[in-house]
Structure 1
């Protein structure tokens, strides 16, 4: 599959006249709970040629899009962000981008830009905004999928993971790991709830097709209480952080010089 992904990335470079700096897996495969029919969620960061930035209309304005998105099929979901878009989001500690940089499944990396971003990630990390991101994700999924007597059982993972990620930030004051098994091991104490989650995880990794099943009360109670508790925690977190613009401007200029010699 990696060969197919690399060929797709090469075609993108040729078709759009860009250079790809980094491509990784995002979604359930990177999170450690893929289904047997999970597609490949490939995310990448790319940079245009120098001349494309020397215009009166910046990238991202009007028809000059700052994303590349290929049509989704049953196998591949491929999309990428242009570098200045990525750096603006990086400056805000954007959790999806921070996850890309920490993905354990990297398909491609070229040049030094991503390594430099990883070194800067501790400086841009903003606990307040990251916890809010994960809590909003958890709340929306909890409200939409887990309220009835019968629920889509696999949706527990899409509420549990962001809740445990938020707990990790609260406890360690650092960006959480992507892998759900790691979060489960560190953030959930031994007991009935952990056993229920481990059973679900084993079923999912075995390729079992989840359908509507009775909701799991111990998980629903935990999720409801924890989302509320973490909302209160965020009120005491500092939501200000230093301005990284000068460093990121330099990183952008250095990338252009390195890539387009």
Structure 2
């Protein structure tokens, strides 16, 4: 599958006259709990030639798009962001982008953009906004899928993971890792953790996790932890410097690094 993904990325470069800087897995495979029918969620960053940015229509406005997407099929979901879009979102401490940067499954990496971004990640990371991102995700999924006596049991992972990510930020004041198993290390040995591990083993094995009786010990944990973490997020205060000058320099340096030898 990696070869097929690289072929798609090469075709994107040639068709759109761009250079891809980085490509990774972003979905359940990167989180550590893929199903047997999980597709591949490939996300990438790219950069156009310098003249593309010298336009009266800014990148991202009208037909001058800042996203490249390939039609989704049963196996592949491939989309990417222009570096200008990525850096503007990076400035806002965008959690999906930061997750891409931490993906354990990297399909392609070229040039130094990701290294440069990683060097300044701590200065752009905003713990409070990241906690809100994960808690909003957890609350929505919890409300939609895990109420009642029987629930869509596989959805536990789509609530547990963001809750544990928010808990990681609270305890460590850093952006959380992608892997669910690493986040799970936050929990002490307990009946709760054992139930989660049993569920995880079933999902990785490929069991059909459809409607089943809800798991009360997990629901009780989620009820309490979502409420507690929301209060913690409200009280968090972070002051950070505006990184725009650094990001502008990074972008200009990438244009030279990628295209100067044409």
- The one-character-per-residue Cα deviations of 1:51-73 (angstroms, maximum 9, x if unpaired) are 11001111000111111111111
In 1, Cα distance between the equivalents of 2:65 and 2:129? 26
1:240 CA drift (Å) = 3.7
Q: Where does residue 18 of structure 2 map in the other structure?
A: 18
RMSD, matched Cα? 0.7
Contact 1:146 1:215 in 2 (8 A): yes
SS in 1 for 2:77: strand
How far did residue 118 of structure 1 move?
Answer: 1.0
CA shift, 1:241, in A, is 2.0
TM-superposed CA distance for 1:119, in Å, is 1.1
Conserved 8 A contact 1:129-1:239: no
Q: Describe the SS at the equivalent of 1:158.
A: helix
1:80-134 deviations in Å (ceiling 9; x for gaps): 0000000000011100000000101000001111111111111111100000000
Aligned residue pair count: 260
The 1-side partners of 2:55 and 2:257 are apart by: 20
Pairing 1:132–2:132 present: yes
Secondary structure of the residue aligned to 2:235 is coil
* Equivalent residue runs for 1:77-88 within 5 Å: 77-88=77-88
Counterparts of 1:229 and 1:142, CA distance in 2: 15
In structure 1, distance between residues paired with 2:197 and 2:211: 19
Structure 1 residue runs of 5 or longer lacking an equivalent are none
Give the CA deviation at 1:239.
4.3
Map 1:187-202 onto structure 2 (within 5 A): 187-202=186-201
Matches of 2:243 and 2:89, distance apart in 1 = 11
For the residues of structure 1 that align with 2:151 and 2:45, how far apart are their CA atoms? 36
Q: Which runs of 4+ in 1 moved over 4 A?
A: none
Cα displacement (A) at 1:209:
1.2
Q: Say which SS state the counterpart of residue 87 (structure 1) adopts.
A: helix
SS at match of 1:35: coil
